[in-house]
Amino acid sequence: MFGWLRELRAPPRIPDEAWQATLARYRFLGDLAPAAQQRLRQLAARFLRDKQFHGAHGFTITDEVALAIAAQAVLPILNLKGGLDWYDDFVGIVVHGSEVVAHRVATDATGVVHEYDEVVAGEAMDRGPVMLSWQDVVASGETSDSGYNVVIHEFAHKIDMRAGAADGCPPLPPGFRGSTSEREARAAWLAVLQPAYEALREKVTIAERFGGEPPWLDDYGAQSPGEFFAVACEAFFVNRPALEAEFAELASLFDEFFNPATP
């Protein structure tokens, strides 16, 4: 909404030294082709223009903090039609110095209400802000081998939520995988994602109960299809070969969605 107003304000200029330092710290960004890096830089500048960063509990938002988050946040939408429109349901990004303890209230299938505390490194709220732990953002520069990236995880949730609930199926383009309707497109998506999710759940169960080999993909993805999508997106963008080795069909599905062929 009112996207034309944003275009009246020029994006900030990202200094070369700061940009190169970001590419060096997060090597999956530095490994992009030069043309992709240039588009990423332009999109990150627009992200910095449009979003508002807030430090929680005295945490200071520096240029380094804002640029690191912006560059990683726009990576998933780099080749998506609409670009930053995927993130137009929120403005605020709240950054904590480290992980946060969040109080949860959940009702199970029998109607019993459970209250508990959960340690989180990030959280994306439906039509609301994104929360991130700077400690974990920094760690993402060293954890690409394990497929971990908190920024991509939370912004993958934002992409997923564009279709409503974070259920693992984002809005799909017309004709996706030869579909003739939104329903067909969703069915084609879930025909790949759901079996992959079930496979991860089974592997996690075998590892936990019977001492089997743990999965390479973060077992947090076994929580729900929505979490599986976000965890798989992390891996896809920071270590695609490893994701493909474990979930080849899923990697191909993500290729078609996140990197559509130019007509």
Torsion of CA 188, 171, 229, 110, to 10 degrees: -90
β-sheet bridge partners, residue 119: 101
β-sheet bridge partners, residue 105: 115
Task: Assign residue 170 a region (left: φ > 0; alpha: ψ between -120 and 50; beta: otherwise).
Answer: beta
pLDDT at residue number 154: 98
For the chain, give the longest Cα–Cα distance.
59
- CATH superfamily of the domain spanning 1-162: Glucose-regulated metallo-peptidase M90, N-terminal domain (1.10.472.150)
Q: Residue holding tokens 């909404």?
A: 1
pLDDT at residue number 4: 45
pLDDT at residue number 16: 97
pLDDT digits (tens, 9 = 90+) for 192-229: 999 999 999 999 999 999 999 999 999 999 999 999 99
To the nearest whole number, what is the mean pLDDT of the chain?
Answer: 92
Q: Could you tell me the pLDDT band of residue 6, with boundaries at 50, 70 and 90?
A: low
> Residue 134 pLDDT more than 90?
yes
d(CA 88, CA 47): 10
In terms of DSSP H, where are the helices of the chain?
3-6, 16-25, 27-30, 34-50, 63-73, 134-139, 150-161, 182-210, 225-238, 240-246, 248-258
Q: What does the chain come to in residues?
A: 263
pLDDT digits (tens, 9 = 90+) for 56-112: 999 999 999 999 999 999 999 999 999 999 999 999 999 999 878 665 566 656 766
Report the predicted TM-score, pTM, of the whole model to 2 decimal places.
Answer: 0.91
Q: Where in the chain is the domain with CATH 3.40.390.10?
A: 166-263
> Residue 163 pLDDT more than 60?
yes
Among the residue ranges 41-55, 91-105, 145-159, 167-181, the one predicted with the least confidence is 91-105
d(CA 160, CA 4): 24
Token code pair at residue 146:
């394990």
Say yes or no: domain 166-263 is CATH 3.40.225.10. no
d(CA 116, CA 146): 28
Contact 68, 106 (CB under 8 A): no
> Residue 1 pLDDT more than 50?
no
Of the chain, the percentage scoring pLDDT greater than 90 comes to 83
d(CA 232, CA 39): 23
Q: Region 16-42: what's the mean pLDDT?
A: 97
> Residue 3 pLDDT more than 60?
no
pLDDT at residue number 112: 66
Among the residue ranges 26-30, 109-113, 122-126, the one predicted with the least confidence is 109-113
Token code pair at residue 88:
């137009």
> Residue 7 pLDDT more than 70?
no
Residue closest to 263 by CA, chosen among 84, 87, 79:
79
In terms of DSSP H, where are the helices of 99-181?
134-139, 150-161
The C-alpha angle with vertex 181 and arms to 156 and 3, in degrees rounded to 5, equals 50
Q: Region 240-259: what's the mean pLDDT?
A: 97
Q: Region 149-177: what's the mean pLDDT?
A: 96
d(CA 56, CA 53): 10
Q: Where in the chain is the domain with CATH 1.10.472.150?
A: 1-162
Residue closest to 55 by CA, chosen among 157, 133, 153, 151:
133
